[in-house]
Amino acid sequence: MAAPEFYHSQEQRQTQSLVLAPQMRQALKLLQVAAIDLHAEIQEELQKNPTLEELPSDSDSISLDAPPTPPSGHAEAGSPSTENESTLPSPAELDFAKSGEPLLPSGSDTQQPYSNADAERRQHFFDSLVAAPSLYEQLAAQAALADLSPAQQRALDYLIGALDERGFLSQSLEDAAAQSGLALSDISTAAEALRNFDPPGIGARSLPECLLLQLRHKTADQDLPAEHSEESAASFALAERIIAEQFELLTRRRIGELTRALGASPEAVQRAIELIGRLDTAPGRRFAADSNQIIEPDIEVWRDSDRQWQLMLNRRYIPRLRISATYRDLIAKGTLAESERDYLRERMRAGRTLIDSIEQRQHTLERLARELLTLQHAFFEHGPTHLKPLTMGELAERLGVHETTVSRAAANKFIKTPHGLFPLRYFFTTGYQADSGTPVANTSVKEWIADLIAAEDRDAPLSDQAIVEKLRERGLHLARRTVTKYREALNLPPSNLRKDH
Flag whether 228 is in a domain: no
CA angle 238, 243, 244 (to 5 degrees): 95
Q: Is 59 left (phi over 0), alpha (psi -120 to 50) or beta?
A: beta
Asked whether the beta carbons of 300 and 312 are under 8 A apart, the reply is yes
Task: Tell me if 368 is assigned to some domain.
Answer: yes
Quote the Cα angle for 460-464-468, to 5°.
110
Give yes or no: residues 445 and 489 share one domain.
yes
Strands 414-417 and 299-303: parallel
Calculate ∠ Cα 405-148-208, nearest 5°: 90
The answer to whether position 220 is within a domain reads no
Residue 8 belongs to a domain: no
Q: What is the pLDDT along the chain (501 residues), one digit of tens a residue?
A: 555 565 566 767 665 554 456 677 777 788 888 777 788 888 888 888 888 888 876 433 333 333 344 443 343 333 333 333 333 333 333 333 333 333 333 333 434 454 556 555 544 444 444 456 677 778 888 888 888 888 888 888 888 888 887 888 888 888 888 877 888 989 999 999 998 898 888 988 888 888 888 888 877 655 444 544 555 777 788 888 888 887 877 776 677 777 888 787 878 888 888 888 788 888 887 775 544 456 788 899 999 888 899 999 988 878 888 898 888 888 888 888 888 888 889 999 999 999 998 999 999 999 999 999 999 998 999 888 888 888 888 898 999 988 888 888 888 889 999 988 999 988 988 777 777 777 778 888 888 898 899 888 888 888 999 999 988 888 888 888 888 888 888 888 888 878 765
Its pTM stands at 0.48
Q: Is the domain of 367 the same as that of 306?
A: yes
Asked if residue 418 has a cis previous peptide bond (ω within 30° of 0), the answer is no
In a domain, 274, yes or no: no
Dihedral over Cα of 202, 31, 36, 42: its sign: positive
pLDDT in the model for residue 228 = 44
Note whether residue 465 is domain-resident.
Answer: yes
Residues 246 and 241: their CA atoms lie apart, in Å, by 7
User: Torsions phi, psi of 301, nearest 5?
Assistant: -125, 135
Same domain? For 442 and 403 the reply is no
- Main-chain phi, psi angles of 417, to 5 degrees: -125, 170
Distance CA 361, CA 23 (A): 13
- Going from the C-alpha of 145 to that of each of 132, 140, 368, the distances in angstroms are 20, 9, 35
3-state secondary structure 79-115: CCCHHHCCCCCCHHHHCCCCCCCCCCCCCCCCCCCCC
> Could you tell me if 436 and 402 lie in one domain?
no
- Structural domain count, the chain: 2
371 in the same domain as 404: yes
Strand 299-303 and strand 309-313: the pairing is antiparallel
CA 476 vs CA 31, 373, 438, 470: distances in Å: 38, 25, 10, 9
Pair (351, 438) in one structural domain: no
For residue 318, what are the domain limits? 299-383+397-412
Considering the domain architecture, whether residues 362 and 407 belong to the same structural domain is answered as yes
Give pLDDT, residue 250. Answer: 77
Residues 6+ apart with CB under 8 A from 417: 301, 379, 380
Residue 441 forms part of a structural domain: yes
**CATH number of domain containing 467:** 1.10.10.60
What is the rounded distance in angstroms from the CA atom of residue 495 to the CA atom of residue 481? 14
Burial class (CB in 10 A: 0-12, 13-18, 19+), 457: exposed
440 is a domain residue: yes
Query: pLDDT value at position 71?
Result: 41
444 and 352 share one domain: no
Q: Are residues 405 and 456 in the same domain?
A: no
Q: How many CB atoms lie within 10 A of CB 158?
A: 19
Tell whether 407 and 451 lie within a shared domain.
no
- Asked if 403 and 454 sit in the same domain, the reply is no
Number of H helices, E strands in the chain: 22, 8
408 and 446 in a single domain? The answer is no
Q: Name the nearest CA neighbour of 171 among 206, 213, 212.
A: 206
Residue 70's pLDDT is what? 42
